[in-house]
């Protein structure tokens, strides 16, 4: 091996490795989310501004993480009250293909009329957003899609209330599963069997280690209910302390979810926080549940957004994480009341929220097949590919060659790329976001916001499939991106595209733009070269 080869290998080696990204949540972020974002009533009548602000904050934050946003707007109460579910997609290598195996995390962002809803369900939303931050900062492009969905209108109301909406629990999630999830799977050629499942988080931070703080109504029935006896016995042996998170799932059909969650939980520290399963040994809970002698227990367990998934299609794998809500400690008095407030944010409670969030993150990273090390996106990309770069290219649309301009708005260490594509003559401009895959030197971008309006005649999900994908190469004058533009709305129309950095727009800089790891390799080489000369 020549010295040159050794040097080349060294540079490659040092620039190849991405620094291991953190895979755990931050306690202070969780606290800040609860304090700053989820501590005032988020209700369409009594807290409309706060609710709107929460939705906007969720969208802005997820966009900033490089995710694709899909709003599902719908109307309730004789079409008078507007509602919206929000989905943020962290797309992987197999997204929008029949090889995808998506996994979803979910929570609801609305509250009851008179409750700040810090625990219910600010805690689920805080976990959802913190998990999104950690997962989207991983530099290795994962195989499968991870979706983060914030549901509107979980909470139901009495018709007597002024401007009431949603008279049955889970209006938002029922709407979403039927009109968003199922069409989304179908667009990618997926069936519920390809869907790895959804984790619904709802009230997950009320920890109480006081003996007897865990209430168990109808203990005689609970004790002998199949799937629930274990949690009853464990809790009894521990003096009915409210010190655990419950995974509610169906014994056989949701097994992959609750076993993985338990595995992740047990691998984390802080053993004072426990985890138990409450299982329902029925697949089609809506149809077959009522026939069971234990129906009152199973029905109680399924009072959450998970019901919307099971109801729509029993093949959708679903698990709920819950601190048992109004059955524990203070929440016996505060559930859905004004006192579900910042008093919930204690160090002990944050500890349980953090452990739950970390187990969920670990599960999502495993299910999406996110590797912990890979080539570093920034140092593997052509040196002049960075924020501010302008490229030009032609796109064939309806037989016409149209010139488009692409501006790179951001290129992050996680490989996230945000761009604006525009055509001045047509006066169109769209935000794109995607990832640079250092392993294959491929850049894939999608429309950032496929739709923001109430569903009309067209199927908005087709727009999630709009993408541009191609190889990114350094050229003498800058960068070239060659690949295909794919638009499902046009019958799967796929056309070749080529964008090149505009002349004089960028000068390929070597030294200054070398990433630190690459620089390290270069310096080592120089030293090695010196040594070899002696
Ligand atoms: C724990 O539960 C007990 C019994 O319900 C209650 O009196 C106490 O206030 C709770 N402690 C906290 C910190 O919520
Ligand atoms: C504390 C808690 O869990 N509150 C509510 C959160 O949302 C679920 C439904 O998704 C309700 O059942 C809980 O009451």
Question: Which of the pair, 488 or 391, is modelled with greater confidence?
Answer: 391
In this structure, are 167 and 201 located in the same domain? Answer: yes
CA distances from 408 to 93, 379, 447, 479 (A): 21, 16, 14, 12
Residue 161 has pLDDT above 80, yes or no: no
Query: How many structural domains does the chain have?
Result: 3
Q: What spacing in Å lies between the alpha carbon of 508 and ligand 2's midpoint?
A: 55
- For residue 206 and ligand 1, the question of a CB distance below 6 A is answered with no
Q: Give tens-digit pLDDT for 351-399.
A: 999 999 999 999 999 999 999 999 999 999 999 999 999 999 987 777 7
In a domain, 506, yes or no: no
User: Are 319 and 463 members of one domain?
Assistant: no
pLDDT at 443: 96
Residue nearest to atom 14 of ligand 1 (CA): 330
pLDDT at 371: 93
* Alpha carbon distance 377, 366 (integer Å): 20
Q: Any residues with CB less than 8 A from the CB of 271 and at least 6 apart, and which?
A: none
Per the document, the length of the chain is 534
Residue ranges in 81-197 assigned as alpha helix (H)? 124-135, 171-176, 182-187
Nearest ligand to the C-alpha atom of residue 240:
1
Q: Which atom of ligand 2 is nearest to the CA of 124?
A: 6
The CA distance from 170 to 173, in Å, is: 5
Q: 314, 345, 367 — which closes off a domain?
A: 367
**Does 517 sit in the ligand 1 pocket, CB within 6 Å?**
no
**How many angstroms does the Cα of residue 332 sit away from the middle of ligand 1?**
9
Element (H, E) at 496: strand 493-501
Tokens 């009320």, residue?
206
Question: Do 484 and 522 share a domain, yes or no?
Answer: no
Q: How far is the CA of 209 from the centre of ligand 2 (A)?
A: 21
Cα gap 195→177, rounded to integer Å = 13
Does the beta carbon of 458 sit less than 6 angstroms from any atom of ligand 1? no
Q: Is residue 435 over pLDDT 90?
A: yes
For the CA of 328, the nearest atom of ligand 1: 5
In a domain, 178, yes or no: yes
Ligand 1 atom closest to Cα of residue 348: 13
**364-389 b/e with 16+ CB inside 10 Å = b?**
bbebbebeeebbbbbbbbbbbbbeeb
Q: CB of 304 closer than 6 A to ligand 2? A: yes
122 C-beta closer than 6 A to ligand 2: no
b/e for 323-357, b at 16 or more Cβ within 10 A? bbbbbbbbbeebbbbeebbeebbeeebbbbbbbbb
Nearest listed ligand to the Cα of residue 243: 1
**Looking at the domain assignment, is residue 266 inside a domain?**
yes
How far apart are the C-alpha atoms of 440 and 23, rounded to whole Å?
24
Report the chain's mean pLDDT, rounded to a whole number.
82
CATH code of the domain covering residue 83: 3.40.630.10
Task: Compare 427 and 262 and report the one with higher pLDDT.
Answer: 262
Same-domain check for residues 431 and 492: yes
Question: From residue 340, how far is each of 5, 39, 112, 156, 208 by CA, in Å?
Answer: 64, 9, 10, 17, 15
Calpha distance 42→368 (Å, rounded): 32
Q: Note the pLDDT tens digit of each residue in 455-480.
A: 544 555 666 667 889 999 999 889 99
Domain-ending residue, one of 310, 333, 367: 367
Question: What phi and psi values does residue 490 have, to the nearest 5 degrees?
Answer: -105, 60
Angle at 403 (CA atoms; ends 470, 485), nearest 5 degrees: 30
Residue 423, exposed/middle/buried by CB under 10 A (0-12, 13-18, 19+)?
middle
256 belongs to a structural domain: yes
In terms of domains, do 308 and 437 share one?
A: no
Whether residue 385 is contained in a domain is answered as yes
SS3 88: strand
Same domain, yes or no: 200 and 89: yes
Q: CB-based contacts of 526: which residues, under 8 Å, 6+ apart?
A: none
Supply the pLDDT for residue 156. Answer: 60
Residue given tokens 């507007």 in the structure block: 82
520 pLDDT above the threshold of 60? no
Q: Using H for helix, E for strand and C for coil, what is the string for 424-442?
A: CCCCEEEEEEEEEECCCCE
Residues 26 and 161 in one domain: yes
Residue 129 in any domain: the answer is yes
Q: How far is ligand 2, taken at its centre, from the CA of residue 325, in Å?
A: 6
pTM for the full model?
0.84
b/e per residue 25-57 (b: at least 16 CB within 10 A): beeebbbebbeebbbbbbbbebbeebbeebbeb
Decide which of 313, 347, 367 is a domain's last residue. Answer: 367
Structure confidence by residue, pLDDT tens digits, 46-93: 667 777 888 889 999 999 999 998 887 777 656 567 778 889 999 999
Residues 6+ apart with CB under 8 A from 269: none
Residue owning tokens 């002696």: 534
Q: Which domain holds residue 441?
A: 378-500
Are the C-beta atoms of residues 87 and 148 closer than 8 Å to each other?
A: yes
Question: For ligand 2, atom 4, which residue shows the shortest CA distance?
Answer: 120
Which residue is listed with tokens 């270069």?
522
Clarify whether residues 8 and 87 are in a common domain.
no
Whether residue 160 sits in one domain with residue 58: yes
**Same domain (yes/no): 56, 151:** yes
Instruction: Report residue 470: phi and psi, to 5°.
Output: -175, 175
CATH of residue 455: 2.40.128.620
Structural domain contains residue 347: yes
For the CA of 346, the nearest atom of ligand 1: 13
Q: Which of 515, 465, 470 is nearest to 490 (CA)?
A: 465
Q: Tokens 């609750």 — which residue?
A: 258
Q: Which of 356, 336, 304, 21 is nearest to 158 (CA)?
A: 336
The reply to whether 394 and 294 lie within a common domain is no
Same domain, 277 and 314: yes
Residue 77, domain member (yes or no): yes
- Interval between CA 214 and ligand 1 midpoint (Å): 9
Give the model's pLDDT for residue 222.
Answer: 92
Burial class (CB in 10 A: 0-12, 13-18, 19+), 291: exposed
- Percent over 90 (pLDDT), the chain: 52
> 299 preceded by cis ω (within 30°)?
no
**In this predicted model, what pLDDT tens digit does every residue of 176-213 receive, in sequence order?**
898 889 888 988 889 999 999 999 998 899 999 999 99
């Amino acid at each position: 091996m020549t010295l040159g080869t050794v040097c080349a290998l060294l540079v490659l080696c040092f620039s190849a490795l991405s620094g291991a990204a953190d895979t755990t949540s931050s306690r202070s972020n969780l606290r800040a989310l609860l304090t700053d974002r989820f501590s005032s009533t988020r209700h369409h009548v009594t807290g409309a501004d706060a609710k709107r602000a929460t939705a906007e904050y969720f969208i802005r934050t997820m966009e900033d993480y490089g995710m694709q946003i899909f709003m599902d707007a719908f109307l309730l109460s004789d079409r008078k009250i507007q509602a919206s579910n929000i989905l943020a997609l962290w797309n992987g290598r197999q997204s929008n293909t029949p090889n995808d195996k998506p996994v979803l995390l979910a929570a609801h962002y609305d509250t009851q009329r008179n409750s700040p809803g810090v625990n219910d369900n600010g805690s689920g939303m805080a976990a959802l957003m913190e998990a999104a931050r950690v997962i989207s900062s991983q530099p290795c492009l994962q195989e499968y899609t991870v979706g983060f969905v914030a549901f509107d209108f979980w909470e139901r109301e009495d018709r007597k209330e002024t401007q009431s909406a949603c008279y049955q629990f889970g209006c938002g999630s029922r709407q979403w599963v039927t009109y968003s999830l199922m069409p989304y799977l179908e667009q990618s050629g997926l069936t519920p069997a390809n869907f790895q499942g959804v984790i619904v988080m709802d009230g997950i931070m009320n920890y109480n280690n006081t003996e007897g703080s865990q209430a168990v109504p109808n203990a005689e029935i609970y004790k002998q209910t199949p799937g629930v006896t274990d949690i009853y016995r464990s809790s009894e042996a521990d003096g009915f302390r409210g010190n655990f998170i419950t995974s509610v799932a169906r014994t056989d059909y949701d097994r992959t979810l609750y076993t993985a969650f338990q595995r992740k939980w047990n691998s984390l520290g802080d053993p004072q926080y426990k985890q138990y399963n409450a299982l329902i040994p029925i697949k089609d809970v809506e149809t077959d549940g009522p026939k069971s002698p234990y129906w009152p227990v199973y029905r109680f367990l399924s009072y959450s957004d998970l019901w919307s998934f099971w109801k729509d299609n029993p093949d959708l794998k679903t698990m709920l994480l819950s601190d048992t809500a109004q059955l524990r400690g203070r929440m016996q008095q505060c559930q859905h009341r004004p006192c579900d407030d910042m008093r919930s944010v204690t160090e002990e409670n944050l500890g349980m929220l953090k452990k739950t969030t970390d187990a969920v993150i670990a599960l999502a990273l495993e299910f999406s097949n996110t590797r912990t090390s890979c080539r570093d996106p920034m140092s593997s990309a052509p040196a002049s590919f960075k924020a501010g770069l302008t490229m030009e290219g032609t796109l064939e649309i309806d037989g016409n060659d149209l010139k488009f301009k692409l501006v790179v708005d951001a290129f992050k260490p996680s490989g996230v790329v945000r761009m604006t594509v525009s055509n001045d003559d047509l006066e169109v401009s769209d935000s794109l976001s995607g990832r640079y895959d250092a392993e294959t030197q491929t850049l894939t971008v999608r429309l950032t916001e496929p739709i923001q309006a109430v569903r009309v005649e067209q199927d908005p999900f087709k727009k999630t499939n709009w993408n541009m994908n191609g190889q990114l190469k350094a050229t003498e004058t800058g960068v070239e991106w060659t690949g295909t533009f794919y638009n499902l709305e046009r019958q799967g129309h796929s056309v070749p595209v080529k964008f090149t950095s505009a002349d004089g727009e960028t000068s390929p800089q070597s030294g200054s733009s070398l990433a630190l790891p690459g620089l390290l390799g270069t310096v080592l080489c120089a030293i090695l070269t010196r040594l070899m000369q002696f």
